[in-house]
Amino acid sequence: MNETRKPDPANSKALFVLRIVTMSFAILACVVVATAMLTRWIMDLNRKVKESNTKMAKAAARIDKFRKSRIKHILSQRKQQLKEEKAGKKKQLYERSKKLAESESEAETAEDLDELEELDALGDLADEEL
């Protein structure tokens, strides 16, 4: 009865330890893969946010440029309008002064005619008296 007992690989402690080590490596590999995937996802998200901010910054710069050019255009139009109004006022003032000058010259002409008529009348009276 010499039974030699052969170690049963299914129940051996070495196999049990090997299973634990293998499971630990599998868990570690899963953690590493998950970490790498999350890191890549975060990096992609960060890049997209930066691109988005860049696009937003470019759009804001375009809007600001458009706004400034529009303000500049409006101010130049207002300046031109003020010049036209000033020229119109000068023209009205010139026409008014011209009318006044004409009316004064007409008045002087009328006064001169009145004086001439009076002188003629006086001359006629003087001729009649003589």
Residue-range domain boundaries for the chain: 12-102
The tokens for 7 are 């170690």
The pLDDT assigned to 80 comes to: 93
Encoded tokens for 90: 């000068």
Full-model pTM: 0.41
Proportion of the chain in helix, strand, coil states, percent, rounded to 5: 90, 0, 10
Q: Which residues contact 96 (CB under 8 A, 6 or more apart)?
A: none
Q: Contact at 8 Å (CB) between 126 and 119?
A: no
Q: Would you say residue 97 has pLDDT above 50?
A: yes
pLDDT in tens, 38-96: 999 999 998 888 888 888 888 888 999 999 999 999 999 999 999 999 998 888 888 88
- Phi and psi (nearest 5°) for 4? -95, 130
